[in-house]
Structure 1
Amino acid sequence: MQNDYSGLSSFLSNPILNTDSYKASHFLQYPADASAMFSYVESRGGRYERTVFFGLQMLLKQYLCKPINDDMIDEAKAFFAVHGEPFNEAGWRYIVTQYGGYLPVRIRAVPEGSVVPTGNVLMTVECDDPQVFWLASYLETMLLRVWYPITVATQSWYVRQTIRRALEKSSDDMTQLPFKLHDFGARGVSSAESAAIGGAAHLVSFMGSDTVLGVMAANRYYREDMAAYSVPAAEHSTITSWGRAGEIDAYANMIRRFAKPGAIVAVVSDSYDLFAALEMWGTQLKQSVIDSGATLVIRPDSGDPQTIVMESLRRLDGFFGSTVNGKGRRVLNHVRVLQGDGVNPDTIEQILAAADQAGYAADNLVFGIGGALLQRVDRDTQRFAMKCSAIRLGDTWHDVVKDPVTDTGKRSKGGRLTLLRNARTGAYRTVAEPRRWEESMIEGEWEDAMHTVFDTGRLLVDTSLADVRVRAQTEES
């Protein structure tokens, strides 16, 4: 008998079930006269001092721009009845009859690609329909997952700054920057959705990726024809399948198949003995590499990253020679080194520093990151939280604040919040409406940095990846 797993996609796409169990009971826990609610998302601090806002548009298009229906309600009702939680069937049926199934929430956010200091509001969620005001909190589980693309985009942005500084110091060619960090993370993530979301987030700062789902997500959700590129590259099986005695034939096949004038071909070369392979490349295969007109990128894949990269650079320099550029650094002829093993933001900085100290330009190096790029982050990397900050009781708004004496770092903000940006200095300031105009606005300097991106099923801002990239790069320093 063939199993039918078609129901899996059904409940995964049901917003009523895309929550935490205890949320189902919360509609009974608020004050009886509650009529509206306001929540916000922020990074309370963490590994990086600033965050690159990205990924909300993907989430909204995938989950909130589609209406709920009676079948979804029936599915959720049946689940919670057995699961042990009450279920607000009347509230969800009201959304279908009153709003055609579209959730009546208003979401404001900073433009995607904005680089904002931690401790500031990044997005807000408000519901002012007294019948379903609790939606602003019910959606927390779904919406707070924006922490993931923000954190990946932030990490890649910071690595970009490290590589950019190295290029500015040692290279004559800054156009290579977008291709210096390649995404190898698809197989190291927890799900296909993570590969898509995290892979797209990396592309805010770079244009090289082997994570197909990430490139597809960036293309589809951010209106890009082709968000990233790759090159023909060998893996260990395509080398070792020739046998150890045929290793040089495997390398020669890569040159014959893919090395064309102006092309780039990457070949993993440590399946047996990296240093013996480097000698093959620099002696028996040297002329075929030169004659091809391509750039050969050799990938060591084991050993201490810094030690192996530096030794590879020195040996390849001895075989192929190098040219001294305008910054007084050596650039290898015909070959480059791709380090994809043991790579993280710290080792990238260390390898670039070692290369510069040895007199080699950053041109010679390309990096690939796997698990450290898309998987070695969590919500606490940047201490993300979504909290209710205001509730309307009757006709009056009241601030809502969490303030635990046991951890002052978890104190939340109160009020209906927005983010201001100083047009002259670029500084940001989180303030509460409507007091922001009287207390924080200086004529001609401060402006609202947030805009409404979603309202009751309608996406009001559909930004492109090109615009996101421009915003992120504008903040480089």
Structure 2
Amino acid sequence: AHLVNFKGTDSVSALVAAKRWYNSNEMPAFSIPAAEHSTITAWGKENEKFAYENMIDQFAGENKIYSVVSDSYNLWNAVSHIWGEQLKEKVIEKGGRLVIRPDSGEPIEVVCRTLEILADKFGYRVNSKGYKVLPDFIRIIQGDGINSNSIEAILNAIMQAGFSVENVNFGMGGGLLQQINRDTMGWAMKASAICINGEWKAIYKDPITSQAKRSKKGILALTKSENEWQTVRIEELNDKENQLRTIFLNGKLLIDESFEQVRQRAE
């Protein structure tokens, strides 16, 4: 579902699903070289600079993007002194784009402070809307503590601090894959009609203890107007077109669409 609107992922299973079940004719998504904590800490704390330098040597270059997690020990030292001083010229000379990844702490504070340090060390320009933009060769990615609510709060804080949101990327694989439960989407599918001896009968639930759990009844249709979608009973459809389509019927797949078709419709 995430890949319908995005083309970046580190979840190989998502690629397999898009190709296997939705007959994708192209690579559904891509990733970039990215350091993980163990690939930094394996060098030892005393060699943190060399761990980062190795990422530059291995993955930097024209039109290339690489990400380096930088909070294994002291994020502020890493951003200010290692990236901002010791490796600054090498980052610039090798080309491409370095994406620094903080991965702990309070996201709003960490992102804004990291932006301030990078702007001080690498400079910035001011865009047409008056916000600061880091040089093209350096950006931030925040993946810790990210969900749909926290992203909005972080974006607001970035702008209040005077920075453009184009400075920051977000990763939320952990949230998408693990921070879910049966109520995540705020809806449930219930039986609304049953056929007994050839006759259809409307059924529904209406708990006295929770009106929010009352379900719709009857055979349902979906209509589309200029501003909204509306669920109605089939007998209330009148001259409107039912937007629902039968995908599965009695165990058979009736409509088999590609992943590219789904993406195109989502646009």
TM-score, normalising length from structure 2?
0.91
CA gap of 1:356–1:256, structure 2 versus 1, over 3 A, is same
The residue aligned with 2:13 is 213
The residue aligned with 1:246 is 47
The residue aligned with 2:159 is 356
Q: Deviations over 1:137-178 (max 9, x none)?
A: xxxxxxxxxxxxxxxxxxxxxxxxxxxxxxxxxxxxxxxxxx
Distance 2:173 2:223 in 1: 37
Distance 1:299 1:330 in 2: 19
Distance 1:325 1:238 in 2: 36
CA gap of 1:247–1:383, structure 2 versus 1, over 3 A, is closer
Distance 2:148 2:194 in 1: 42
SS of 1:265 mapped into structure 2: strand
Pairing 1:466–2:260 present: yes
Distance 2:154 2:204 in 1: 46
Match for residue 168 of structure 2 among 357, 365, 368: 365
Shift of 1:264: 0.5
The residue aligned with 1:258 is 59
Match for residue 116 of structure 2 among 300, 305, 314: 314
Match for residue 295 of structure 1 among 66, 77, 97: 97
Shift of 1:450: 0.7
The residue aligned with 2:204 is 401
Match for residue 146 of structure 2 among 343, 356, 378: 343
Distance 2:8 2:204 in 1: 43
SS of 2:181 mapped into structure 1: coil
Match for residue 281 of structure 1 among 83, 93, 97: 83
Q: Is the 8 A contact 2:84 2:122 kept in 1?
A: yes
Report the RMSD for the aligned CA atoms in angstroms: 1.8
Distance 1:370 1:420 in 2: 34
The residue aligned with 1:145 is none
Q: Deviations over 1:8-46 (max 9, x none)?
A: xxxxxxxxxxxxxxxxxxxxxxxxxxxxxxxxxxxxxxx
Q: Which is worse superposed, 225-234 or 387-396?
A: 387-396
Q: Which is worse superposed, 257-266 or 401-410?
A: 401-410
The amino acid across from 1:272 in the alignment is: Y
Larger RCO of the pair (alpha carbons < 8 Å, separation 6+): 1
CA gap of 1:379–1:239, structure 2 versus 1, over 3 A, is same
For structure 2, which runs of at least 5 residues remain unmatched after alignment? Answer: none
Shift of 1:392: 3.0
Q: Which is worse superposed, 226-235 or 215-224?
A: 215-224
- The sequence identity of aligned pairs, in percent, is 48
CA gap of 1:391–1:326, structure 2 versus 1, over 3 A, is same
Distance 2:141 2:237 in 1: 52
CA gap of 1:301–1:387, structure 2 versus 1, over 3 A, is closer
Structure 1 residues 20-35: aligned runs within 5 Å: none
The amino acid across from 1:239 in the alignment is: I
The amino acid across from 1:241 in the alignment is: A
Pairing 1:387–2:190 present: yes
Q: How many residues align?
A: 264
The residue aligned with 2:245 is 451
CA gap of 1:298–1:456, structure 2 versus 1, over 3 A, is same
Q: Is the 8 A contact 2:221 2:244 kept in 1?
A: yes
The residue aligned with 2:132 is 330
Q: Deviations over 1:306-360 (max 9, x none)?
A: 1111111111111111122222222111211111112222221121111111221
CA gap of 1:457–1:398, structure 2 versus 1, over 3 A, is closer
For structure 1, which runs of at least 5 residues remain unmatched after alignment? Answer: 1-200
Dislocated runs of 4+, deviation >6 Å: none
Q: Which is worse superposed, 406-415 or 243-252?
A: 406-415
SS of 1:451 mapped into structure 2: coil
Distance 2:174 2:258 in 1: 27
Distance 1:210 1:331 in 2: 27
Distance 1:337 1:383 in 2: 32
CA gap of 1:318–1:431, structure 2 versus 1, over 3 A, is same
Distance 2:70 2:254 in 1: 50
Distance 1:284 1:381 in 2: 45
SS of 1:384 mapped into structure 2: coil
The amino acid across from 2:129 in the alignment is: K
CA gap of 1:393–1:302, structure 2 versus 1, over 3 A, is closer
The residue aligned with 2:228 is 427
Distance 2:101 2:245 in 1: 45
The amino acid across from 1:210 in the alignment is: D
Distance 2:59 2:104 in 1: 24
Largest Rg, 1 or 2? 1
Shift of 1:280: 1.2
The residue aligned with 2:4 is 204
The residue aligned with 1:223 is 23
Shift of 1:213: 0.7
Shift of 1:300: 1.0
Q: Deviations over 1:393-435 (max 9, x none)?
A: 334322223223232222222222221222xx142222223x2
